[in-house]
Structure 1
Amino acid sequence: MSKLLQRVSDGARNFRQEFPLRQKQADENRQTENQAAIRIQSWFRACKVQAYLRHLHQNAIIIQRLWRGFTARARFRQMVKAAYFIMKMNFYEAMAIRIQQRWRGFYVRKYVHNFYARQRHLQVVSRKNKLIRAELSELEELQRRQRDCLEVIKQQTANAHRAHRLHHLLSTKHRPGVFNSPFRQAPHETELLLRQVKYQPPTRGRTGLVAIPDPTTPVSPESPRSSSPWPTLPPIVSRKQQVVFRQPGEVWQQCVDCPHLTCLPSSYSHLEEATRQLQLHRSVNLHGDKLLERNTVRQ
């Protein structure tokens, strides 16, 4: 019992001695623990706030993703509608242009440029071309004949001139000429020409020389016969009578009646229009003449 009391008394004495020390130590540690608790609480609250903000951020991302997908799909649908509308409009315009082309071609072929009138015009033009080509070929043939005749005349003139100059070389009964060799079976053509040409005495001009015509100069039909010692051929008439055109009186009467029809045609249908107007003018004149005869008979 005494030992127990001794122990209690010792414990109380130790307690009274250690209590202020521990209290002092507890006061010193309280501020450190308070700072630690505050720091733990601030960190925990920060974690909570960060977790909440992360949750809000993820939700915002989801909402933005959904909204952007919705707006993008709506915009894409609008673009598809616009592209489809443009495609339809282009197709309609192409079809309208094709229809307009067909209609305008039909209208022009039907009413503006008549196919049969154009065909008749081309036939008339082809016939005229054939006539003109035939006339040109005849004219060319005539000119070629004229040139050949002129060449022949020129050659004959040169031969005659040479024969006149070489007439003293003609063969005689007593002595053969230069162009009549005894070793030839037939006389030379120059010898035959000398036999055909008659001798003409030379004439003196102002200079005292023998007047011999130049074989290179062509003989004109207007030149006097005294300048040429041989006869000249008549001129070749190259004019051809035109039988495919109308008479001058008929043309003059048409110019008097319808002066506006004498202009050159501006299209292939101008001839038909002019013919119709001329017939109308003739019918009007005929009716006017009949009406004038009736009035004179009544009077």
Structure 2
Amino acid sequence: MLVMENGALVISLDFELLWGVFDKVDWREKKEYFENTRKLIPEILRLFEQHEISCTWATVGMLFNESWDEWNENIPEVLPEYTNSNLSAYNFGKSIQSKETEKLCFAPELIRLIKDTRGQEIGTHTYAHYYCLEPGQGSQSFRADLKKSVDLTEKFGIEINSLVFPRNQYNVSYLEVCREIGIKTVRTNPQNWYWQNTQKDNLADKIFRTGDAYFGFKDKSYKDIQEIHPGITGHKASRLLRPASGKSIMDKIRLQRILSEMQEAAKNKEIYHLWWHPHNFGGNPDINMQELKIILDEFKRLKNKYNFASHSMNSISLEG
């Protein structure tokens, strides 16, 4: 168990582009949304540098490919056999291959930019946005997926230490595979009951998660980082930074909830783990970036007042 001497803000981002939502949206209707996302990532990195923010970018491995030709060459030998075939990134990828879709599915230049920005950690979000609790997948295909992700990152001179399970489908039985492949830290879900079954994701879970964003049902920060498996630490997610809704009153309430939780974490010398998807900012980019700046300005104030620190998932594990 690792205990911090002072409070800390941990940020992790699920960097996916189209691979994170291919089974839920029509890509033709989301082109501008993902174009906005690509433009915003350099802006986010500039803000992080200005505020001395460290962050873990949990990156879908398929984004490392340069083109569909390379993607076709990098299909693992063992694939998940989901009962719901619509969840397969491979089925989807084979169906949309064109020059038009490459910018929605690949981002090696953005990955290099993240790698070259001070304080940024590149982690993995699995290779194919792998669903670890869905019927039809198994440990062999998970191992092949994770190994492919690690192999590609090594070609970029990146060592993978941190993992975020896609759709928060945290599967404790796969931690040994993670350890064998070199993963040292994993993001886990909040302890609230409405975060415990992300695979089924029923209506009650969704309602309470949404309500929690505005009213906060339970303290979100914590004092220690537990070892969840030999050689692997677990980082509990505190708060999802939901995108701006455009409803000013509700957005102010949601933002104030995050600011007050950060303040409590700093005062109590606790860890506050904020996460989101970069593409969440694609719908209302200006408002979302304004909110992020407010959050980071507040971090700077708390750093000066309480020695509140900024960490990636890996750096806090090393320091703690």
Fold in common (TM above 0.5): no
TM-score by length of 1: 0.18
Determine which structure has greater relative contact order: mean sequence separation of CA pairs < 8 Å that are 6+ residues apart, divided by chain length. 2
Q: Which has the larger radius of gyration?
A: 1
TM-score by length of 2: 0.17
> Which has more strand, going by share of residues?
2
> Which has more helix, going by share of residues?
1
